[in-house]
Chains A and B, each alone.
Chain A
């Protein structure tokens, strides 16, 4: 059975995985420059060795409440448009998972989470949600609007 390596991380209680080959690096919390007028999902810009990287707040992306004194980890992934950082709560291990425990996301999943996962690995004791990075980093109009509503 084919296996796949996943870099795993926690956002709130959700256990996500991104294919290891997509991950450029994982770094600690960085100094960030806020981008006013941007979608709330965009937490800011970080300087990654001279490269300017947009940091996407996965908590906000998933409509989860902000945390006090949050010191997120940066999961820097490679995309077609260059590197993007995903801000997550905690980094897990790199797991090697087998295809035979993969299922498509159950239809009962609610809310934003459903938008951004492509499948679920049934691991022992926990479920690994496969993150669709393209969807996770896409700033949709709805999220911008929800921010405006929140502001109003």
Chain B
């Protein structure tokens, strides 16, 4: 068993790929039955699995695959159409095969389960009957692990014996299949392949590339096996390759090629079974066969047909060798031996679905042969091979096989590392050159920089995979789940070709699957409910992927019932995830976020589909592990959207470099929100302490602060008395987002942003949660990369009950007494205060940018049209008059209820934290009231009025827009 391990391992990996392809294609073919090449690909995949099982001695698996293949062949030949029953049965077969493969992986044999029920269903379907008990099928495929363990390993000899049994047990299968004589079945197909070449082109192209690889492998392995005949797995690999070629030829209708490959395979099977030793003659004949197959492939590539050459001579040689006879001197192989009737029969009836039956025939007839062959080692007869007909075809441009290669992922990883180092070296050279001021060197360095960037992009591209690769299994998931839940769901995918790094693809696979299942299970309603709500019966699930800002966005949108926020909160409280008081203070977005909390599940009953072990919290953790974020938006009655943002790659990330206590640290930009600089005087005012915990007032909200130099305890010396003094001297705050929590990190200096190459830390440093890794800076020194989550944890920021409560409490207190106000001047006398919490930005613009639309002043602002209101006009009734100004104007951009509007003011004066006393109520529209601020009476702007004004104007604006269009 030991030396077969490699072959089995390869078989498992390959079969898994094949099964995924079959699943995808089956679902695809169901909806596009005109795409013949999809069926071709299904058929090939199943056939390959079957062939390999046969070789490795997994008879039960083979028998099952064979039954499925026979059914497929009927569909292919147009005898049956792919009904829902058939598709389901085939998909169940895929599942059963998967289970068997799992059994093989665990125990080394294919289990005791025969899947007779499933096979009966398949057989019934072949006959065009309705499946006997389709409902039993899922149960039949549920294989218990106990039965696996209990099972004894099967003897190889027993396997071959059973192989015969299996064939006998399903004779009706073969009868049902149209055993058409070869020429008639091939002809029409050959014609059709010439006629609608387009349809089959993809399949043929793939076949050519694959066969070329296979042939090279066969060549290599044959030579290898000759010198190391004890390596059974080499032979296994040869056999599989030849078998795959044969099977595919048969499907594509290349009968001549198939016949040749078949003869070779038969010879190989004798060698495999130990009936023949691999003599020099046999090896030579097989290599000649490889050459012949190559030629035929070249002909196929050029003409689409496998040519007229029958290679009868070569086949005769192969047949003679099968009988253990000395080959008719190969050089004169044109003088053909009379082939035995038996081998002729084998060649002339190559039913693709029946390959094993034939090899059974050969095996049965081989005992007499083997006696003769045993005494026939002829190692000395090394005759130069006169390739009978093999004059290599002229090369005309790159062939299909040459245009793509397979590369080991390990090699790509290595290249990626090297490019990372190149980037660093480039940075170092760039910095060094600045001191030299040599123009020639400078240009060379610029060029180096450019090439490095291109190289980096190129290497990254090789690791990129389309997200479609993982999406491809979702149609099956939806197809299986929807009927089980009594739902009708249409799955749509946009942006399948969006690419991201292979490691990331792997990482988001499971979370995505969970989200899709979740949407199908909980999101979309059953048809009757949908109709009641006035929606189409069929639910729509949309997967969307696109690049944005150096990140990949993936959205999973359903048009289902949306998330019931009340129920979410109710359950969250019941399960003790949050307290009722906390809930009361949470904005809606955070309430939705509760479903990501550990220990939360809204599923009222555990259905077949939900509760597979991955909760939403795991989804979130896994996405965050790779530096991504997940976000929900939901509209009750209209559906919900899960939005994932993941980085393009993990190896090279943009980061902010900061200095603290003389050391540099990199902070990943993905978690960076903003940078705040606090000056000495102001700093004292803005940074305050709540029981020793420093906080900063950022636009009316309290931002918990973390002092980086304290967290990392650089130059650690505890001195509690000076702490308060220290806080006030802080200058730079880096505002970060960890989880849903914002916090500020106080650093000494903010240096620059840079693309950094992430390198892992050694084992000795793994336990320290505040580092995500290390990188090498432009000057060659190492800098540590901070882990934002770890930093937040270290500073106890995530201790929800305590901190959150306290901060909220303080916040509420602040709201009552203290307001941060922007003071603006209107006219010569007027002072108006605008609450900072509503202000998005302050701008100064030249007058010339002002345009008019629909009688309203507007400016083009960040890609949108921003309506501008003159504060003086707005408050005209209060007796304000605008002053003249000098070519520029100052504008306060206010955001309110999701809209932005610019308020033109005469001068922006100051930002103040003001303890507002009782307001003197004002009857003027647009003014909330008046208060004394800085010993002067100031009007407080009523944002609501501004907003209503904007709304009015916007309506006009939209009307104008329409006219314009």
Interface residues of A (CB under 8 A from B): 31-39, 41-42, 44-47, 49-54, 56, 81-82, 84, 137-139, 151
Contact = CB atoms under 8 A, between A and B. Distances in A.
Contacts of A34: 663, 714
Interface stretch (B212-220, B500-508, B746-754, B780-788): B780-788
B776 A47 contact: yes
Contacts of B783: 33
B762 A81 contact: yes
A50 B770 CA distance: 23
Would you list the 3 A-B pairs with minimal beta carbon distance, nearest first?
Answer: A36-B712, A50-B421, A54-B762
Contact of B716 (A47, A137, A151): A151
B764 A38 contact: yes
Contacts, number: 70
Contacts of B762: 52-54, 81-82, 84
B764 A37 contact: no
Interface in B397-424: 420-421, 424
Given A34-B663, A36-B712, A52-B759, A45 B764 contact: no
Nearest to B768: A37
A118 to B, nearest CB: 20
B774 A45 contact: yes
Contacts of A138: 764
Interface residues of B, number: 26
A53 B663 CA distance: 18
B776 A37 contact: no
B366 interface: no
Contact of B774 (A49, A52, A56, A139): A52
B781 A47 contact: yes
A42 B766 CA distance: 12
Residue among B774, B780, B782 facing the most chain A CB atoms (10 A cut-off): B782
A46 B784 CA distance: 11
B17 to A, nearest CB: 32
A50 B91 CA distance: 50
A34 B713 CA distance: 12
B763 interface: yes
A82 B783 CA distance: 19
Contacts of A35: 765, 768, 771, 784
Interface of B: 420-421, 424-425, 663, 712-714, 716, 759, 761-765, 768, 770-771, 774-776, 780-784
Contact of B425 (A45, A50, A151): A50
23 contacts: A33-B781, A33-B783, A34-B663, A35-B784, A42-B765, A45-B782, A46-B782, A47-B781, A49-B421, A50-B420, A50-B421, A50-B424, A51-B759, A52-B759, A52-B762, A52-B782, A54-B761, A54-B762, A81-B763, A82-B762, A137-B764, A139-B763, A139-B764
A107 to B, nearest CB: 29
A45 B764 CA distance: 11
Contact of A56 (B712, B716, B764, B771): B764
B902 to A, nearest CB: 46
Contacts of A52: 759, 761-762, 774-776, 782
A31 B783 CA distance: 12
Nearest to B662: A34
A47 B768 contact: no
B712 to A, nearest CB: 4
Contact of A37 (B712, B759, B775): B712
B782 A37 contact: no
Contacts of B770: 37
A31 B712 contact: no
B782 A38 contact: no
Given A42-B765, A84-B762, 8 more contacts: A31-B781, A38-B764, A45-B782, A47-B780, A50-B424, A50-B776, A53-B762, A54-B762
Nearest to A44: B782
A47 B781 CA distance: 6
Contacts of B716: 151
A121 to B, nearest CB: 28
B769 to A, nearest CB: 9
Given A33-B663, A33-B784, A45-B782, A54 B776 contact: no
A84 B420 CA distance: 21
Given A33-B781, A33-B784, A35-B784, A54 B765 contact: yes
A133 B768 CA distance: 22
B696 to A, nearest CB: 23
B541 to A, nearest CB: 44
Contact of B782 (A47, A49, A151): A47
Residue among A37, A46, A51 facing the most chain B CB atoms (10 A cut-off): A37
Contacts of B775: 52
Given A37-B712, A47-B776, A42 B764 contact: yes
Contact of A36 (B713, B761, B763, B781): B713
B713 A37 contact: yes
Residue among B420, B425, B759, B770 facing the most chain A CB atoms (10 A cut-off): B759
A38 B768 contact: yes
A144 to B, nearest CB: 9
Nearest to A151: B716
Contacts of A137: 764
Nearest to A35: B765
A139 B781 CA distance: 24
A47 B770 CA distance: 21
Contacts of A32: 782
Contacts of B425: 50
Contacts of B663: 33-34, 36
A132 to B, nearest CB: 16
Contacts of A56: 764
Nearest to B770: A37
A36 B714 contact: yes
A147 to B, nearest CB: 11
A94 B425 CA distance: 33
Contacts of A44: 782
A54 B714 CA distance: 19
Contacts of B420: 50
Contacts of B781: 31, 33, 47
A39 B716 CA distance: 14
Nearest to A56: B764
B764 A41 contact: yes
B276 to A, nearest CB: 46
Residue among B712, B762, B771 facing the most chain A CB atoms (10 A cut-off): B762
Contacts of A42: 764-765
A70 B17 CA distance: 58
B789 to A, nearest CB: 15
Residue among B424, B764, B774, B783 facing the most chain A CB atoms (10 A cut-off): B764
A148 B40 CA distance: 68
A42 B761 CA distance: 12
B218 to A, nearest CB: 38
B426 to A, nearest CB: 12
A30 B783 CA distance: 14
A41 B763 CA distance: 13
Nearest to A33: B782
A54 B764 contact: yes
Contacts of B780: 31, 47
A51 to B, nearest CB: 8
Contacts of A46: 782
B706 to A, nearest CB: 14
